[in-house]
Amino acid sequence: QQPVQSPQAVILREGEDAVINCSSSKALYSVHWYRQKHGEAPVFLMILLKGGEQKGHEKISASFNEKKQQSSLYLTASQLSYSGTYFCGTEGGNQGGKLIFGQGTELSVKP
Amino acid sequence: NAGVTQTPKFRILKIGQSMTLQCTQDMNHNYMYWYRQDPGMGLKLIYYSVGAGITDKGEVPNGYNVSRSTTEDFPLRLELAAPSQTSVYFCASSRQYEQYFGPGTRLTVT
């Protein structure tokens, strides 16, 4: 039950905003967001937990709708360094980070 | 701190050969994970561990084995390599939520 991300790809100009969505068919305990640049390892951005707790980098914002089993990642005033592939990972319960990742959203920010 | 280190960086195997991918972390994290990432795809969890001596299967465990005798090390064993195991393998560790990934091992089976 892999979560579904949308859009698959997005191209932005510097300074523009973007929203990346992650949707699951199962009830969720947590949603994790990672960014991966080409040829590199994924890097943690944020975790959103059932009940409203969030932990992550200050400049990243996200939402988690538990009823709809959806999460959205908000990228505002995009910079060139935001380019990469964004993955959401979901947990159905508190399983020590046993994540199922979505297929990814490729974000390209152009000057 | 070196973080999570993986060896080797690259490896080419012939069909039927075996090998061990090494993973070491120096952050004293209890949780460790092995993922594979096929080209243009997301990460698939192979095995994970919540502490020394405890391992469990992830989404795609077939063809792999793991052991966790120490907190620091979490090797992944490939037995009888198959072309379908051609992938990039990432090891990760975490204390609670944030997973720290190693640089990856690019494996080709021909």
For B15-31, the pLDDT digits (tens) are 999 999 999 999 999 99
For chain A, which domains are there?
Answer: 4-110 (2.60.40.10)
pLDDT score recorded for residue A44: 94
Contact B1/B16 with Cβ under 8 angstroms?
no
For residues A37-43, average pLDDT:
95
Which CATH fold would you assign to the domain B4-109? Immunoglobulin-like (2.60.40)
Q: How many Cβ atoms sit within 10 Å of the Cβ of residue A16?
A: 14
Contact A44/A106 with Cβ under 8 angstroms?
no
User: So where are chain B's domains?
Assistant: 4-109
With an 8 Å Cβ cutoff, are B42 and A102 in contact? yes
Tell me the pLDDT band of A105, cut-offs 50, 70 and 90: very high
pLDDT at A18 over 90: yes
Q: What percent of chain A has pLDDT over 90?
A: 75
pLDDT at A38 over 90: yes
Which residue of chain A comes nearest to B56, CA vs CA?
A: A98
Q: What percent of chain A has pLDDT over 70?
A: 99
Whole-angstrom distance, CA of residue B61 vs CA of residue A75? 35
Tell me the pLDDT band of A39, cut-offs 50, 70 and 90: very high
Residue from the list B42, B50, B102 with its beta carbon closest to the beta carbon of A101: B42
pLDDT score recorded for residue A58: 67
Contact B102/A42 with Cβ under 8 angstroms?
no
For B52-94, the pLDDT digits (tens) are 999 999 999 999 999 999 999 999 999 999 999 999 999 999 9
What is the bridge-based pairing of β-strands A30-36 and B76-78?
unpaired
A86: β partners: A35, A105
The B residues from 13 to 72 touching A (CB cutoff 8 Å) are 31, 33, 41-45, 48, 50, 56, 58-59
For A47-72, the pLDDT digits (tens) are 998 887 777 776 778 999 989 999 99
What is the bridge-based pairing of β-strands A9-13 and A105-110?
parallel
